[in-house]
Amino acid sequence: MKATIVSDRSEHYPVLLKEIISIISPQNGGTFIDCTFGQGGYTKEILKFSNTKVIAIDRDIETKKIANEIEKTFEDRFLFKNIKFSQLKNLKLKNENVKGVVFDLGYSLNQIKDNKKGLSFSSKGKLNMKLGLNDFSAKEMINKLDSNDLQKIFRYFGEEKDAKKIANKIVYERINHEIDTQDLVNIIDTVKRRKNYKIHNSTKVFQAIRIFVNKEISELIYGLINATRVLKKGGILAVVSFHSLEDKIVKYFFRSLSENKSISRYQPIIIQSEPLFYMKQKKSIIPSKQELSQNISSRSAKLRFVIKKKDFYDFETDVFEKFKSLIEVENISYKL
């Protein structure tokens, strides 16, 4: 998943690019992992420095087309893997000097414009929202789960106040026909009756469905944990998030491991007074006025980063317990 600023000219802008490059300092060399390759914005900028190597990851197989082009120029310094970033641990990185891992949790312009993916409420046809390597689609979710389950998903993942009414209306409407993208938009419009003109009626429900279909909560948590494991001492972990659930998880994970909560399971002599991370800046970084002037779509982006202080591979974290309620809702997927 790779975020872009979508302008009226439909150009691609990697969000907070200057800030990311300033933080991870590729001019000092090393291996960098781009966990959300997308259209390759971060990767291309990092590879401008001759003493760098990039391992790029993306669950969307369509991104391989762009990766293939980059590989032609940087064959010895670029590697692409079509995997989910939760699978970072499957990469053989023991001999790599991993100095930075970057996540951009948004979507590329190509993904947004792809009607087959159906990420936008303006899309036509069947519901989908799969970003790649999925177990089920939005179509199966909307047309199979009961009202109570749908309500939980809309409320927890979309913070949708009308979750119950929308869920009940979906179940009622699907008795006679399968719900597609525009059917769902119409159902939401019927329930909400344009109560908020600043935000499209379908925004929160579509966000919730996308999170559920792609298991974005557990993906992010496992991604953060495994990224922390592969980083070398002094390495940077940086994440750009775009909605409150993502930011809460990232913020908690970073803060908890920057305090006295990190300890190696295999080195009991290490005491908890030595945290795993150093948080140089507690406040999130947001787009500059210049970036916002190029396109307002970047306004929700928040960048947080930490520096790994120790070369520990194993460490303790209570992040799953902290977000247990979200994981439980995500696990409704076992019914599909």
pLDDT score for 231: 95
More confident residue, 106 or 218: 218
Give the predicted TM-score (pTM) of the model.
0.91
What three-state secondary structure class fits 7? Answer: coil
Domain 17-110+216-312: give its CATH architecture.
Answer: 3-Layer(aba) Sandwich (3.40)
pLDDT score for 84: 97
The H-or-E segment that residue 126 falls in is: none
Judged by average pLDDT, the poorest of 60-64, 157-161, 212-216, 308-312 is: 308-312
Each domain of the chain, given as residue ranges in start order, spans: 17-110+216-312, 135-213
pLDDT score for 181: 94
In the sheet that holds 30-34, the strands lie side by side as: 78-81, 52-57, 30-34, 98-104, 236-241, 302-308, 277-278
> Per residue in 247-286, pLDDT tens?
999 999 999 999 865 444 444 444 445 899 999 999 999 9
- Averaged pLDDT of the chain: 90
Domain 135-213 classified CATH 1.20.5.510?
no
- Is residue 152 very low, low, confident or very high in pLDDT (cuts 50, 70, 90)? very high
Residue 1, pLDDT above cutoff 70? no
Compute the average pLDDT of residues 119-141: 92
Residue 96, pLDDT above cutoff 50? yes
Instruction: Please give the structure tokens belonging to residue 331.
Output: 């696990």
More confident residue, 3 or 73: 73
Residue 180, pLDDT above cutoff 80? yes
* 22 CB-contact burial (10 Å; exposed 0-12 / middle 13-18 / buried 19+): exposed
| Residue closest to 41 by CA, chosen among 59, 18, 23 | 18
Instruction: Please give the structure tokens belonging to residue 280.
Output: 């140089």
Q: Where are the alpha helices (DSSP H) in 58-162?
A: 64-73, 109-113, 138-144, 147-158
pLDDT score for 5: 34
Q: How far apart are CA 317 and CA 123, in angstroms?
A: 40
pLDDT score for 259: 87
Q: Give yes or no for a contact between 139 and 131, defined as CB atoms under 8 angstroms apart.
A: no
Return contacts of 251-258, CB within 8 angstroms, 24+ apart.
251/284, 251/304, 252/319, 252/322, 252/323, 253/221, 253/224, 253/317, 253/319, 254/279, 254/304, 254/305, 254/306, 255/279, 255/282, 256/317, 256/318, 256/319, 256/322, 257/228, 257/306, 257/315, 257/317, 258/306
330 half-sphere exposure, CB direction, 13 A CA radius: 20
pLDDT score for 124: 86
Residue 135, pLDDT above cutoff 80? yes
Close Cβ partners of 150 (under 8 Å, ≥ 6 residues apart): 141, 142, 163, 166, 167, 170, 171
pLDDT score for 303: 98
The H-or-E segment that residue 237 falls in is: strand 236-241
pLDDT score for 196: 67
